[in-house]
């Protein structure tokens, strides 16, 4: 006999909306760390964030219904920090440190609301922008990306039958578990989930995170997703992102300030945080330029996160620099986080084993890898290279060069100016998949 | 088409145990407040807690399988405070006060484990006892009661078909909702859930609590269940219980100390807590005796919880005492919590309206009222009067007289001695249903 719980069924079928974002802390932990710094040091800076789809062949505005997108963005704007979340942020230990968030900051955050958005369509793409105070607009990056990516998945799901869906997820689980088994073979591996922004869906990310927790145990060092960290008693991980040097550079009033910008934000960071949070993200305007001009104290920081150079070449250059600066790389940490999958993780791990401390931030290929899982190839299941980047600060254009020219963002004239200023050394063109 | 999620189905069907208690904070809030006091002031006292089934006609050991009971008790002993729970206890505000729990206490609690139990059967009843340190055995009261009550419900559920079960819960929900509608008519009503110990099941308690939250809004002032308070962002409520004066009286070495015992624990309490937590529970050895001998400062406390006298008579006597002591009852609080249902709540509310502040702790009739809901009368669905009381402290017998002789507990010779000592004034025999 089949039994239907009528109330549940009617409830499930009469939702006006199945929200993608159900919590303000369904975001990356580094956003909160950066937010506190912005709130404290840059409360008067305006910043515009802009959605950029680098996978031009995917015409997002044709795959996703604009009104559905608006409904999801509007719903995210209704969210407030819950009491339990506020208590957890105040009381939890992050990176071994208690009270990493100041009480005044949390009081402010308790009333936080995502600001308004501007949405239009052009040439099959969405033009989505967030204008306003940096300490408000910055919080849109992750939910905006997660919403668009999950709406893409839902478009696909609607076209599939129940058994096809069942088999799709069964295969994706089997595929994920094979990765888990390969990772288990690396002793002392440290890996964490960085996959919120490009996840297939919230529920699928949660499944992957819980599978890693069960599957690789202590090698799984945490998740960047604050909500999942809270709910699953995992460490929340992540430090800072490109928006810090990008805004600092955009605000520079002369060449001297522009040259100093990448290091100024590190000084700012160090005023608020220490220890394992002192991770340098060196590639905003090219890692070679960053290392060439870095003040000596940068070598005191705990580690680097090479994010756009090929991991082995990128890591070697940082190790060489540490040696030049008289540091022992075995005391230092490299965090790899650029488009990793299991092969790249294993190769990188084997290459550097014993020479440097390593940690891997596993993103899109953890939380959105359905390749080969559908009964036929479905384009909508392929992750795209979607980002939401700061594009202006106080009305001035913000730019990222990156170690990979294909990951550069910003106005092309301005990119040219930065390239002349910082130089092009060691920039390597690589295909950007995610 | 019917769709079965095979992994979920197999998982559900292969549980060795469906745990009744899944969290150490699935308990009453007052246990934690009392625990902190015991931990701080009485860490060396031993106390035995004993299960007492006052509904002798129900032969528990015939309704419930002993090995199932052992499995549930054993499972509860595997529980530890989770990180999220510890953070929430440390960071949440209780009764408007932050950090009500000392950091040292929470550190101790983080390693807390329920102690061993002694279980045997005699004459169709379970003989269940917890021996050891008071600050360990006290924590068994609520989970032990909740486990036995839910095992009774499960025995019934197993005998019912799927549609019968569906109709049973549908009717129970309808019945509950009628109560909600009647309570809505009382302006300024303050009512909270006190129903953990005698709940039909955890899931049903959660349903009732969430229904009250939606149904009566701000009139629902919280739940005594700490886990539900955390998960549903409700206030955790409750202050202290009879075990405090019972242990203090058992430890008294002479008549002078026995006479002082009920007030000594109030002084202890006041060393740790203040404000709305200053609620007197006057009936351990009879309310009349308590008021007769009470020091003047007892009238400074915020309120009384008459727990075994009929609510209207009991309340009137306390109001008369406040007036005699020169206090304005309208500034004082009466908390009614003895076997209430909607009729008693409404009568009591109407009787005292405008003359005293009132609050209602709604227990068994909130979380375990299935009368008339089953297609035929099922004895196993009727709540029983089951308690788990302190019976010895440091090897000396512990006794409760109560305002209702049928609620007295303890060795009968010792009860006689206490009755002679405290007197029998105003004790009224009433049927004890729950």
Query: Token pair for residue B230?
Result: 């955390």
Nearest by CB to A87, which of B91, B162, B163? B91
A1 at interface of B, judged by CB pairs closer than 8 A: yes
Nearest by CB to B82, which of A87, A162, A233? A233
User: Three-state SS for B47?
Assistant: strand
What pLDDT does residue B3 have? 62
Query: Token pair for residue B162?
Result: 């799927």
Q: How many CB atoms lie within 10 A of CB A209?
A: 25
What pLDDT does residue B401 have? 96
Nearest by CB to A1, which of B3, B84, B162? B162
In chain B, what residues touch A92 (CB-CB under 8 Å)? 83, 87
User: Residue B360 class from Cβ within 10 Å (0-12 exposed, 13-18 middle, 19+ buried)?
Assistant: buried
B214 at interface of A, judged by CB pairs closer than 8 A: no
What pLDDT does residue B161 have? 86
Distance from CA of B340 to the nearest CA of A (A): 29
Report residue A126: phi and psi, to 5°. Answer: -85, 140
B107 at interface of A, judged by CB pairs closer than 8 A: no
d(CA B357, CA A65): 55
Distance from CA of A359 to the nearest CA of B (A): 24
Q: Which chain B residue shows the shortest CA-CA distance from A164?
A: B3
Run of H or E including B386:
strand B386-393
Q: Cα separations (Å) of A260 from A41, A240, A308?
A: 17, 18, 21
B203 at interface of A, judged by CB pairs closer than 8 A: no
B233 at interface of A, judged by CB pairs closer than 8 A: yes
User: Three-state SS for B286?
Assistant: coil
Which residue in the block uniquely carries the two structure tokens 């409830």?
A: A11
d(CA B251, CA B269): 17
What pLDDT does residue B6 have? 74
User: Three-state SS for B128?
Assistant: strand
User: Residue A262 class from Cβ within 10 Å (0-12 exposed, 13-18 middle, 19+ buried)?
Assistant: buried
Contact A60, A53 (CB under 8 A): yes
- Please choose, from the candidates A338, A319, A317, the residue with its C-alpha nearest in 3D space to the C-alpha of residue A328: A319
CB contact under 8 A, B87 and A83: no
What pLDDT does residue A163 have? 78
d(CA B337, CA B345): 10
In chain A, what residues touch B91 (CB-CB under 8 Å)? 86-88, 90-91
Taken as a whole, chain B contains a residue count of: 434
- State chain A's mean pLDDT as an integer: 95
Distance from CA of B287 to the nearest CA of A (A): 39
CB contact under 8 A, A83 and B90: no
B431 at interface of A, judged by CB pairs closer than 8 A: no
pTM of the model: 0.85
A165 at interface of B, judged by CB pairs closer than 8 A: no
Compute chain B's Rg from CA coordinates: 21
- Please choose, from the candidates A216, A230, A223, the residue with its C-alpha nearest in 3D space to the C-alpha of residue A192: A223
Report residue A149: phi and psi, to 5°. Answer: -65, -40
CB contact under 8 A, A84 and B88: yes
Q: ipTM of this complex > 0.85?
A: no
Each residue's pLDDT, cut to its tens digit, for chain A (434 residues) gives 456 777 777 777 777 789 999 999 999 999 999 999 999 999 999 999 999 999 999 999 999 999 999 999 999 999 999 999 999 999 999 999 999 999 999 999 999 999 999 999 999 999 999 999 999 999 999 999 999 999 999 999 888 888 788 889 989 999 999 999 999 999 999 999 999 999 999 999 999 999 999 999 999 999 999 999 999 999 999 999 999 999 999 999 999 999 999 999 999 999 999 889 999 999 999 999 999 999 999 999 999 999 999 999 999 999 999 999 999 999 999 999 998 999 999 999 999 999 999 999 999 999 999 999 998 889 999 999 999 999 999 999 999 999 999 999 999 999 999 999 999 988 888 888 77
Q: Cα separations (Å) of B75 from B22, B51, B157?
A: 8, 19, 21
A157 at interface of B, judged by CB pairs closer than 8 A: no
Each residue's pLDDT, cut to its tens digit, for chain B (434 residues) gives 456 777 777 777 777 789 999 999 999 999 999 999 999 999 999 999 999 999 999 999 999 999 999 999 999 999 999 999 999 999 999 999 999 999 999 999 999 999 999 999 999 999 999 999 999 999 999 999 999 999 999 999 988 888 788 889 989 999 999 999 999 999 999 999 999 999 999 999 999 999 999 999 999 999 999 999 999 999 999 999 999 999 999 999 999 999 999 999 999 999 999 889 999 999 999 999 999 999 999 999 999 999 999 999 999 999 999 999 999 999 999 999 998 999 999 999 999 999 999 999 999 999 999 999 998 889 999 999 999 999 999 999 999 999 999 999 999 999 999 999 999 988 888 888 77
Distance from CA of A98 to the nearest CA of B (A): 11
Q: Choose the mutation target among B87, B88, B109 for the interface with A, i.e. most A CBs under 10 Å.
A: B87
| Residue contacts between A and B (CB atoms, under 8 Å) | 40
CB contact under 8 A, B84 and A88: yes
Q: Which chain B residue shows the shortest CA-CA distance from A85?
A: B88
Nearest by CB to A3, which of B3, B88, B162? B162
| pLDDT tens digits, A11-57 | 777 777 899 999 999 999 999 999 999 999 999 999 999 999 999 99
Nearest by CB to A88, which of B3, B88, B162? B88
A4 at interface of B, judged by CB pairs closer than 8 A: no
What pLDDT does residue B166 have? 86
What pLDDT does residue A3 have? 62
Distance from CA of B1 to the nearest CA of A (A): 9
Which residue in the block uniquely carries the two structure tokens 């005191």?
A: A300
In chain B, what residues touch A177 (CB-CB under 8 Å)? none
Nearest by CB to B2, which of A2, A87, A233? A2
Query: Token pair for residue B44?
Result: 């060396």
* SS3 of chain A: CCCCCHHHHHHHHCCCCCCCCCCCCCCEHHHHHHHHHHHHHCCCCEEEEEEEECCCCCCHHHHCCHHHHHHHHHHHHHCCCCHHHHHHHHHCEECCEECCCCHHHHHHHHCCCCCCCEEEEECCEEEEEECCEHHHHHHHHHHHHHHHHHHHHHHHHHCCCHHHHHHHHHHHHHHHHHHHHHHCCCCCCCEEECCCCCCCCHHHHHHHHHHHHHHHHHHEEEECEHHHHHHCCCCECCCCCCHHHHHHHHHCCCHHHHHHHHHHHHHHHHHHCCHHHCEECCCCCCHHHHHHHCCHHHHHCCEECCCCCCHHHHHHHHHHHHHHCCCCHHHCEEEECCCCCHHHHHHHHHHHCCCCEEEEEECHHHHCCCCCCCCCCCHHHCCCCEEEEEEEECCEECCECCCCHHHCECCHHHHHHHHHHHCCCCCCCCCCCC
What pLDDT does residue B206 have? 96
CB contact under 8 A, B90 and A88: no
Q: At what angle do helices B243-251 and B29-41 cross, to 10 degrees?
A: 30
């Amino acid at each position: 006999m089949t039994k239907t719980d009528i109330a549940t069924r009617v409830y499930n079928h009469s939702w006006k909306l199945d929200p993608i974002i159900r919590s303000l802390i369904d975001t990356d932990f580094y956003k909160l760390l950066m937010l506190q710094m912005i709130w404290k040091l840059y409360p008067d800076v305006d910043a515009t964030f802009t959605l950029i789809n680098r996978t031009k062949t995917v015409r997002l505005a044709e795959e996703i219904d604009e009104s559905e997108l608006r409904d999801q963005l509007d719903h995210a704007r209704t969210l407030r920090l819950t009491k339990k979340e506020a208590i957890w942020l105040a009381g939890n230990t992050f990176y071994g440190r208690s009270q990493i968030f100041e009480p005044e900051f949390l009081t402010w955050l308790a009333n936080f609301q995502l600001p308004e958005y501007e949405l239009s369509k052009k040439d099959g793409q969405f033009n989505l922008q967030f204008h306003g105070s940096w300490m408000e607009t910055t919080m849109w990056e992750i939910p905006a990306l997660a919403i668009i990516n999950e709406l893409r998945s839902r478009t696909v799901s609607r076209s599939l039958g129940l058994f096809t869906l069942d088999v799709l997820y069964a295969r994706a689980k089997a595929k994920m578990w094979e990765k888990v088994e390969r990772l288990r073979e690396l002793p002392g591996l440290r890996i964490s989930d960085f996959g919120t922004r490009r996840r297939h869906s919230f529920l699928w990310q949660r499944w992957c995170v819980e599978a890693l927790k069960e599957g690789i145990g202590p090698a799984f060092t945490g998740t960047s997703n604050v909500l999942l960290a809270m709910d699953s008693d995992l460490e929340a991980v992540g430090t800072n992102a490109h928006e810090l040097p990008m805004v600092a550079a955009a605000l520079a009033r002369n060449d001297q300030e522009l040259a100093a910008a990448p290091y100024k934000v590190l000084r700012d960071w160090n005023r608020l945080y220490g220890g394992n949070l002192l991770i340098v993200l060196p590639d905003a305007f090219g890692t070679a330029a960053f290392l060439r001009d870095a003040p000596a104290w940068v070598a005191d920081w705990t580690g680097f996160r090479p994010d756009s150079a090929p991991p082995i070449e990128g890591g070697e250059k940082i190790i060489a620099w540490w040696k030049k600066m008289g540091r022992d790389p075995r005391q230092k940490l490299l965090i790899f986080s650029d488009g990793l999958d299991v092969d790249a993780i294993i190769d990188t791990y084997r290459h550097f084993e014993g020479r440097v401390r390593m940690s891997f931030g596993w993103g899109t290929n953890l939380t959105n890898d359905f390749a080969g899982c559908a009964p036929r190839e479905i384009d909508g299941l392929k992750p795209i290279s979607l980002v939401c980047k700061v594009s202006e600060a106080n009305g001035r254009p913000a730019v990222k060069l990156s170690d990979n020219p294909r990951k550069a963002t910003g106005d092309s004239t301005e990119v040219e100016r930065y390239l002349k200023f910082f130089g092009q050394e060691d920039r390597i063109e690589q295909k950007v998949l995610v």
